Amino acid sequence: MREAVRAGQAGGAPAADPTQQGALWRGLRRVLRHRGAMVGGTIVLALVLVALLAPVLSPYDPYKNDLARIARPPGPGHLLGTDELGRDMLTRLMYGARLSLLVGVTSVGLALVAGTAVGAVSGYLGGWLDLLTMRVIDIMLAFPSTLLAIAITAILGPSLTNAVVAVAIVNVPIYARLVRSSVLSIRELEYVEAARAAGMPTARVIWRHVLPGALAPLIVQSTMSIGSAILEVAGLSFLGLGAAPPAAEWGAMLSRAREFLQTAPWVVTFPGMAIMLAVLGFNLLGDGLRDLLDPRLRHRG
């Protein structure tokens, strides 16, 4: 065995590390065996593909009105029917997936960056800065997230962009506390103290030695938060504080279809089911990643 490895190295080809290959195979096997992760990943992948291929999958224009086909029930030509302005429901749902996924990922990305920075600096430096930061975080967490998002959007002005910013601000405390708790347990470890003793700048210590230890919980929280962000932005759009007509956004579609709840229930049912499916997919995927990334739960593999 040793001679084979030496021969491979002598020939210029790097020898494969069987330990790393075994770890990758075990990780892949755990993913394939975890039903929740597989179901959630399949739903999310399907939504992403539908969003990307919406122009190819549908022959209809999601914004073109057809007054001759107002509120037609599902049937041939319009598998999910038409809405209150004669637009194809399936087409608008597919384009709505593109918009909803975009706002979900954007709001979570903004919250992740801001919350990680706040939590890392607060937890690593400690002292009065940590005390002040955590009190502000506690005040923000004292308000219901939806109510706080409505207040922020009302201050900034009704628009989809401001709704995304509001949802991001509301979620910053979650990431800040999560990163801070990880930093507090990592900053006293020997390799971090060795980096400080070597004179490494504080920012570099946090980036290279502290934050990697908080990566697993951040991945899980971010995945689950995308579904919640989609739901929150849809709620703001439903209240008239998010996407404005004629945007094909699921919450806005629900808001405009309220008057047709009894006469054309499919106009309300399908956007609601799309929101439910997206939230379910990201929640299942996040639960699966949590079970797979938490060392205490790896008995499944």
pLDDT digits (tens, 9 = 90+) for 39-53: 998 999 999 999 999
The answer, yes or no, to whether residue 8 has pLDDT greater than 50, is no
Residue with tokens 């920075």: 117
Reply yes or no on whether the pLDDT at 26 is more than 70: no
Distance (Å, rounded) from C-alpha 128 to C-alpha 3? 60
State yes or no: pLDDT of 15 exceeds 60. no
Mean pLDDT of 99-105: 93
Percent of the chain with pLDDT over 70: 87
Residues 6+ apart with CB under 8 A from 128: none
pLDDT level of residue 59 (50, 70, 90 thresholds): confident
Query: Collapsing DSSP states into helix, strand and coil, what is residue 242?
Result: coil
DSSP conformational letter for 88: B
Domain ranges, ordered by start, for the chain: 91-300
Please check the confidence at residue 7 and state whether its pLDDT lies above 50.
no
Residue 19 pLDDT greater than 60, yes or no: no
User: What pLDDT is stored for residue 51 in this prediction?
Assistant: 93
| Confidence at residue 236, expressed as pLDDT on a 0 to 100 scale | 93
Name the least confident of 23-27, 30-34, 102-106: 23-27
- Look up residue 59 and give its DSSP letter: -
Encode pLDDT of 138-161 as tens digits: 999 998 888 999 999 999 999 999
Q: Are 238 and 223 in contact (CB under 8 A)?
A: no
When pLDDT is averaged across residues 5-27 and rounded to a whole number, the result is 49
For the stretch 198-240, pLDDT in tens is: 777 777 777 777 788 778 888 889 999 999 999 999 999 999 8
- Residue 4: pLDDT above 70? no
Q: By mean pLDDT, which of 30-34, 120-124, 148-152, 171-175 is the weakest?
A: 30-34
DSSP letter at 68 equals: G
Of 79 and 14, which is predicted with more confidence? Answer: 79
pLDDT tens readout for residues 253-293: 888 888 888 888 899 999 999 999 999 999 998 888 887 77
How far apart are alpha carbons 21 and 25 in whole angstroms?
6
Mean pLDDT (whole number) for 21-28: 56
Handedness of CA 7, 9, 13, 14 (dihedral sign): positive
Q: Which CATH architecture is the domain 91-300 placed in?
A: Orthogonal Bundle (1.10)
Q: Please tell me whether residue 75 adopts helix, strand or coil conformation.
A: strand
Give the number of residues written for the chain.
301
The DSSP H or E segment spanning 110 is helix 89-125
**Predicted pLDDT at 6:** 46
Tokens, residue 106: 């954007």
pTM assigned to the model: 0.83
Q: Is the pLDDT of residue 11 over 50?
A: no
DSSP letters for 205-221: HIIIIIGGGGHHHHHHH
If you ran DSSP here, which 8-state letter would residue 72 be given?
Answer: P
pLDDT bucket at 92, cuts 50 / 70 / 90: very high
C-beta separation of 89 from 267 below 8 A: yes
pLDDT value at 62 more than 50: yes
Listed residue (177, 179, 151, 178) closest to 163, CA to CA? 151
Task: State residue 45's pLDDT score.
Answer: 94
pLDDT higher than threshold 80 for residue 91 = yes
Question: Cβ contacts of residue 233 below 8 Å, gap of 6+?
Answer: 100, 103, 104, 107, 160, 163, 164, 167, 242, 249, 251
Supply the mean pLDDT for the chain.
84
